[in-house]
Amino acid sequence: MSPTIFRYHGYRFFFFSREEKRIHVHVYCTDGEAKFWLTPKVSLANNYGLSKKQITELLKIIEERKNDITKAWQEHLGS
């Protein structure tokens, strides 16, 4: 299962249930997909097709919504 946390300007922010313990978020759009770590700081884990400009924008969005993403993670995974 991969619950959607939120959508923003054509991006879907989600995670895969039980993928791994370290808090992270996947972001998908028609251009590609990326995975970002939230701890110990927001950072890019993997990028598949997104531009540097898109990654920079996504890092900013994730930083701004870090608490929302973390809360969704904890509610869904119970940790």
Q: What are phi and psi of 42, to 5 degrees?
A: -65, 125
How is residue 71 written in tokens? Answer: 């809360």
If one counts the domains in the chain, the total is 1
Short-list 67, 24, 29, CA closest to 49: 29
Tell me the residue range of the domain where 19 lies: 4-77
Q: What digits encode the pLDDT tens for the residues 10-39?
A: 999 998 877 788 899 999 999 999 999 999
Three-class SS state of 48: strand
Q: Half-sphere exposure of residue 72, counting CA atoms within 13 Å on the CB side?
A: 18
Q: What digits encode the pLDDT tens for the residues 55-68?
A: 999 999 999 999 99
pTM of the model: 0.91
